[in-house]
């Protein structure tokens, strides 16, 4: 079990990994598998009491196969050289990076990219307009998905616009287009399930500013949109024809060619309508210019038609179109946020580094490393984090000798408690899992996620100290 501290050989190298999503867990795994250091101890810290990061709070509930990756991450966190320490905030109000460096020989930041990009157009903050991240947090039971995020009243919308053509756009378009019965077997929180069951959304428009051959989504995810039981997916043949690559996709890279082939299949006139209650339309070459207001909330989106510029980009055409919608989800990418006490490059939303070593004024900062999205930006699939973590760990292990000479203070968990923190250790997380299974049983469902801080912390800590 990864919960106890102070066991085994004397600690020669004590390492903190900040973040327990895939990049953090793969970093911990690389550390224990690549290192021959005796007495290595890796503490995986997370501000949430639950591990797994975006696998728990980002992967859509109906993607059970990807979610099952949690089982692999669990095996890593149960390694006896690894300790999970949840409910530990790094930064203001918690442990500062400077203090962390006094408690550990080395710290690897795997904190992801938690903010969402904005469009910078009028109307973006109208009620009924929010980031896809807020919607995802809401249906994933993130305990911070509170008052300023997605509001379930917005599901009174009849028409929804999703802006963007990446896999997050596909996720939210699919969840809006699914019936509640399809989501009941998942761990979606009960309140979200009820709200989705009552949803009046019947039309979803997923809108890309460039063409089909520039879309970022992957073919497996695209195909899934075409096989939803209660929604008819469609695309306009005329919009496909605007993309020169669509008329003869044979020369395209295979991933793009497959996307184009799926879309061409949807556009053929001889597809029989299935008479289902929802429609999901993919639109291309439309750039959002304004979110329109009606009766104090979102009423539609005004787009400018674009055309390919011959170099992979688009230019405006000066012609416009409005799509009526009462709900707008912008799915235009994530953004890294600065962590007080760590250097940050606002242009890329990442921490400057050399092969994972954090750079302060261009020079490697002893003991500080990065991996995952905060190192390379919010791109790639979950597996991309493996080689990324490996590179950082290779750098760290090259530095072992110097790192082991850095003086460190006493037991970190004691120090955290003395600072007023109440870390949730592995057994606390197992208690949350048990409470979620129990909640599901009481509702006649499988495990159902607990969606609030109080519920999570009561399950994890009760009255005991972690």
Instruction: Tell me how far, at minimum, the Cβ of 113 lies from ligand NAP, in Å.
Output: 9
Find the shortest distance in angstroms from Cβ 126 to ligand NAP.
Answer: 17
Q: In angstroms, rounded to a whole number, what is the distance separating the alpha carbons of residues 325 and 322?
A: 9
In the complex, what is the shortest distance from the CB of residue 210 to ligand NAP, in angstroms, rounded to a whole number?
Answer: 4
- Residue 82 or 165: the one with the smaller Cβ distance to ligand NAP is 165
If one counts every other C-beta atom within 10 angstroms of the C-beta of residue 450, the result is 22
List 214, 259, 392, 395, residue binding ligand NAP (CB under 6 A): 214
Distance in Å, CB of 441 to ligand NAP, minimum: 29
How many CB atoms lie under 10 A from the CB of residue 294?
Answer: 13
Q: Which two tokens stand for residue 421?
A: 């923190």
Q: Is 119 in the site for ligand NAP (CB under 6 A)?
A: yes
Quick check: 167 binds ligand NAP (CB under 6 A)?
yes
Q: Quick one: 353 or 376, whose CB is closer to ligand NAP?
A: 376
CB under 6 A: which stretch of 203-211, 363-371, 435-443, 451-459 binds ligand NAP? 203-211
Min CB(218)–ligand NAP separation in Å? 6
Contact 81, 32 (CB under 8 A): yes
In this chain, which of 22, 61, 288, 299 binds ligand NAP, going by CB under 6 A? 288
- Residue of 189, 191, 4, 16 whose CA lies nearest to 104: 16
Q: Rounded CA gap, 431 and 423, in Å?
A: 14
CB of 141 to ligand NAP, least distance (A): 17
Closest CB 217 distance from ligand NAP, rounded Å: 7
Cβ closest to ligand NAP, residue 3 vs residue 214: 214
Which residue in the set 166, 189, 212, 299 belongs to the binding site for ligand NAP (CB under 6 A)?
166
> Which residue in the set 16, 169, 192, 233 belongs to the binding site for ligand NAP (CB under 6 A)?
169
Phi and psi at residue 310, to the nearest 5°: 85, -5
CA distance 326 to 363: 50
**Which of 17, 90, 168, 448 is in the footprint of ligand NAP by CB under 6 A?**
168
Kindly state the number of chain residues that form the binding site for ligand NAP, as judged by CB under 6 A.
24
Say if CB 449 and CB 440 are below 8 A apart.
Answer: no
Tell me whether strands 129-131 and 363-370 are parallel, antiparallel or unpaired: unpaired
318: left (phi over 0), alpha (psi -120 to 50) or beta: left
Alpha helix (H) residue ranges in 108-251: 132-139, 167-177, 180-183, 190-197, 219-225, 237-241, 244-247
Write down how long the chain is.
466
The minimum distance between CB 48 and ligand NAP, in angstroms, equals 19
* Exposure class string for 157-167: b at 16+ Cβ within 10 A, else e: bebbbbbbbbb
Q: Which residues contact 375 (CB under 8 A, 6 or more apart)?
A: 23, 350, 351, 353, 356, 388, 392
Looking at the Cβ atoms of 317 and 379, the one nearer to ligand NAP is: 379
**Of residues 328-357, which lie at the interface with ligand NAP (CB under 6 A)?**
331-334
CA-based nearest residue to 400, from 35, 138, 20: 35
For residue 433, how many other CB atoms are within 10 A of its CB? 14
Interface positions, 368-407, toward ligand NAP (CB under 6 A):
378-381
Is 171 a residue that touches ligand NAP (CB under 6 A)? yes
Distance CA 379, CA 168 (A): 12
| Residue 164 binds to ligand NAP (criterion: CB under 6 A) | yes
Query: Does 216 engage in binding with ligand NAP (CB under 6 A)?
Result: yes
Q: Which stretch binds ligand NAP (CB under 6 A): 31-39, 72-80, 167-175, 428-436?
A: 167-175
CB of 134 to ligand NAP, least distance (A): 13
Q: Which is nearer to ligand NAP, 221 or 431 (CB)?
A: 221
| End-to-end Cα spacing for the chain | 15
Residues in 53-92 at the binding interface with ligand NAP, rule: CB under 6 A = none
Using CB under 6 A as the binding rule, whether residue 209 contacts ligand NAP is answered as: yes
Q: Which residue is nearest to ligand NAP (CB)?
A: 166
Q: Which of 134, 221, 232, 436 binds ligand NAP (CB under 6 A)?
A: 221
Which residues lie closer than 8 Å to 15 by C-beta, 6 or more apart? Answer: 31, 40, 41, 42, 43, 104, 105, 106, 107, 108, 396
**Residues engaged in binding ligand NAP (CB under 6 A):** 119, 163-169, 171, 208-210, 214, 216, 221, 288, 331-334, 378-381
């Amino acid at each position: 079990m990864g919960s106890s501290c102070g066991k085994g050989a004397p600690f020669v190298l004590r390492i903190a990994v900040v973040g327990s999503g895939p990049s953090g867990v793969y970093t911990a795994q690389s550390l224990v598998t690549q290192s021959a250091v005796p007495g290595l101890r890796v503490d995986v810290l997370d501000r949430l009491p639950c591990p797994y990061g975006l696998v728990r709070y980002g992967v859509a509930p109906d993607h059970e196969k990807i979610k099952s990756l949690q089982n692999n991450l669990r095996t890593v966190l149960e390694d006896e050289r690894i300790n999970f320490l949840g409910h530990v905030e790094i930064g203001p109000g918690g442990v500062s990076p400077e203090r962390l460096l006094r408690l550990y020989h080395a710290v690897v930041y795997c904190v992801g990219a938690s903010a969402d990009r904005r469009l910078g157009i009028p109307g973006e903050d109208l009620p009924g307009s929010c980031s896809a991240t807020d919607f995802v947090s809401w249906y994933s039971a993130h305990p911070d998905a509170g008052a300023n995020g997605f509001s379930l009243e917005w599901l009174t919308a009849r028409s929804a616009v999703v802006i963007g053509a990446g896999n997050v756009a596909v996720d939210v378009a699919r969840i809006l287009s699914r019936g509640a019965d399809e989501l009941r077997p998942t761990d979606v929180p009960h309140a979200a399930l009820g709200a989705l069951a009552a949803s009046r959304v019947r039309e979803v428009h997923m809108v890309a500013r460039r063409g089909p051959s520039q879309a970022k989504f992957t073919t497996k995810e695209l195909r899934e949109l075409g096989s939803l039981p209660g929604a008819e997916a469609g695309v306009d043949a005329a919009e496909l024809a605007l993309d020169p690559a669509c008329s003869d996709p044979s020369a395209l890279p295979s991933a793009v060619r497959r996307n184009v082939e799926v879309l061409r299949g949807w556009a053929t006139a001889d597809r029989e309508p299935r008479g289902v209650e929802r429609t999901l339309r993919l639109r291309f070459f439309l750039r959002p210019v304004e979110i329109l207001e009606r009766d104090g909330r979102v009423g539609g989106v005004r787009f400018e038609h674009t055309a390919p510029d011959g170099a992979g980009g688009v230019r405006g055409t000066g012609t416009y179109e409005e799509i009526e919608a009462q709900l707008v989800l912008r799915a235009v990418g994530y953004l890294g946020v600065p962590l007080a006490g760590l250097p940050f490059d606002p242009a890329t939303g990442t921490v400057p580094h050399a092969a994972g070593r954090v750079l302060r004024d261009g020079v490697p900062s002893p003991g500080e490393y990065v991996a995952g999205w905060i190192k390379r930006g919010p791109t790639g699939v979950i597996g991309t984090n493996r080689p990324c973590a490996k590179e950082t760990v290779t750098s760290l292990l090259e530095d072992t000798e110097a790192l082991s000479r850095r003086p460190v203070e006493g037991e970190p968990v004691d120090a955290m408690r003395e600072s007023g923190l109440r870390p949730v250790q592995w057994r606390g997380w197992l208690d949350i899992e048990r409470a979620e299974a129990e909640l599901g049983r009481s509702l006649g469902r499988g495990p159902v996620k607990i969606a609030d801080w109080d519920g999570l912390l009561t399950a994890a800590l009760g009255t005991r100290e972690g």
